[in-house]
Structure 1
């Protein structure tokens, strides 16, 4: 379904079969329709909107703008789309707040890139100064639409969509519904198609709950880190809790790295590289620091405490089981937390209690030592009560021996 140039890159990257969201949205996007695309995290949404948008821009001209909530996501998206853009002869640029503004402006003027991946602050900055013109934008993609309101005001997003030409397409992609996706037609004054493939997407991710009090969480996490094929991310609700626990956990022999909002760009790149290469197998992170990161082969996602929102749990769990691989999500807490978690995720995920069984987790509750001792005693009693098998004595039936009473005929 893709152009020859794009298909060649897909073959090189061994992506021969499109995912469900890619297959269902391609024709509509390529033909210029505005669309809301909903799919589970880690199922190929970036290529679902990126490839048909770039092919369309290559055909009709103009610019495609992809709006990402964070700097890391914007750079990651640019890197993912770069080989396909080059194959189509399109230039790309990432406009982020963390970058040098002057250099970004120079590149915009000199290179005139057709594909712009930007964070909200820098995009609205350049639009307000007319460095990027509304009439040049033929496609606007708002990625992570379920989280974008944390980084951009609703009225700014609305004005952005309404200032585009009537022929420009607007694409909203996310893992869950939000105010933006539900009210898209009123906000942007466009007609939208809805493509929701979440009910059809099979998941190989198991959702477990490990009962543990705060004082024993360190020991439990050390045991988790020793499980077979462990490569995990431990999520915290705040940087403060993350750093406090990291100081405690540093006394253990388990090797780990800390990814927080305070991590410098250089250190961040190094530890992510080490984690991807498998030199580090345990990563501590906050939601903001790890948002949208595509980290391959993560086998475990662990919640240090219960997430406050379903959306937070959904995005965390999306770090494992990507592209239909297997994975495990483990939440730590007490019995009260287990009840709250089940209420929070009712109708979304099936949560099971889990227990350690050697170097793996099981849903079968292990027998207590008292029960095992009682069972052993009962087993011994049963063994004793069984009648012992007596050997039959061999007797010669022909010669029964002399019996005085019988020989006299006495009774």
Structure 2
């Protein structure tokens, strides 16, 4: 931390005592003005890895000098909040330019306060550039955070055009958790040399990756059981908003406390939901991948994949919501045997997926012992073998199966009686006639 004596008070306040691997590998290079590609697992301190050295290179009073791209509004606001103390310590100004923000107010801030640091989402940034609110030549440092996901919100051609239109002396930093088209072809896209820094193998993860077998029909029941595990606090991921909304509707009829976060959720509601989860006021936050991309929830213990992620990159980012900065965490994926095979194939040897089982209010990877079934005894010298156990050891069918059988039997009986009635037979009349005949005989 000797490279940043001006931030010592903030480090002490935030209990930061040492650099993480990605910070140690990139800080000096960025201070020296190098353009780099930095790859590290999620939750390992990438935000400070690029922001601390680049903030030191910003000249006060030079508007729009440092531009940081984020794929979502939530992540842009989160990064702004994470670096604002460091910005203030250097006498700089920062603004988050996001699509859900007040556009008129943002323009006023750009015009009157001339902030040196801009944290932007692609749509709003290119909107401001097209209106000449921001000029390419002003940008001295450009960061594309979550570079492996930025193409979900903007086209590669736009990013390439930006990189080639800013001054050739400008510094560019690309950071992500996985490789992508941007990080692989950075030199061709941005027309300048890059240094590749990959510390993913150096990051020691404390996250366990588990699989809980369950079919679609019983997922709600299994998830409700999960929420009763000691100290349960989780983000549960869905592949589509429609599925999330359906599950939220069903879950609302249970006693599980939860909030839902989707693309339609406004900024204030999102912030409130994250705060309630962090304070353990709710046990679960239902979310989609885009809505939760890069979000940092303090000490989140579990991530639950309600459905199998679409690809490895999606799994990596979901898993990155827990076990951040070297802390312990658990990722649980719900699905069938077929899903487990697909998940292992998707992730390869990088992740060890273990089956998990319930043991009271805890989870265990030790498979429960099968109940011992009494051995059958043979009679008649082994011919025509018969089980002689004194009592029947056949497993009683579940209650819902019994009830279904009773309903079917009642329906069959009514159908039979209706058929007999059409032939001139009536069960009640026949019963009365038999009673009268018995009395007459007496």
Give the 3-state SS of the residue equivalent to 1:199 in structure 2: coil
Question: CA separation in 2, counterparts of 1:5 and 1:191?
Answer: 31
What is the CA deviation profile of residues 42-70 of structure 1, one whole-angstrom value per residue up to 9, with x for unaligned ones? 01101100110100114895610001111
1:301, CA displacement in angstroms? Answer: 0.5
Question: CA separation in 2, counterparts of 1:373 and 1:64?
Answer: 76
Over 3 Å counting, the alpha-carbon distance change for 1:61 and 1:31 in structure 2 is farther
What is the CA deviation profile of residues 57-104 of structure 1, one whole-angstrom value per residue up to 9, with x for unaligned ones? 148956100011111111111111100000000100111111121211
Question: CA separation in 1, counterparts of 2:3 and 2:360?
Answer: 48
Q: In the TM superposition, what are the counterparts of 1:2-401 in structure 2 within 5 Å?
A: 2-58=3-59, 63-370=65-372
TM-score (norm 1): 0.88
1:124, CA displacement in angstroms? Answer: 0.9
Over 3 Å counting, the alpha-carbon distance change for 1:373 and 1:228 in structure 2 is farther
Measured on the aligned residues, the alpha-carbon RMSD in Å equals 1.6
Quick check: 2:302–2:329 contact (8 Å CA) kept in 1? yes
Listed as ranges, the gaps of 5+ residues in structure 2 are 377-442
Quick check: 2:234–2:285 contact (8 Å CA) kept in 1? yes
Question: CA separation in 1, counterparts of 2:330 and 2:374?
Answer: 30
Give the 3-state SS of the residue equivalent to 1:206 in structure 2: strand
Over 3 Å counting, the alpha-carbon distance change for 1:373 and 1:346 in structure 2 is farther
Question: CA separation in 2, counterparts of 1:318 and 1:334?
Answer: 23
Quick check: 2:60–2:92 contact (8 Å CA) kept in 1? no
Give the 3-state SS of the residue equivalent to 2:349 in structure 1: coil
TM-score (norm 2): 0.82
Quick check: 1:6–1:88 contact (8 Å CA) kept in 2? no
Quick check: 2:60–2:116 contact (8 Å CA) kept in 1? no
Over 3 Å counting, the alpha-carbon distance change for 1:228 and 1:372 in structure 2 is farther
- The total of aligned residue pairs comes to 374
Quick check: 2:261–2:287 contact (8 Å CA) kept in 1? yes
Question: CA separation in 2, counterparts of 1:42 and 1:281?
Answer: 21
Over 3 Å counting, the alpha-carbon distance change for 1:87 and 1:210 in structure 2 is same
Q: Which runs of 4+ in 1 moved over 4 A?
A: 59-62, 371-374
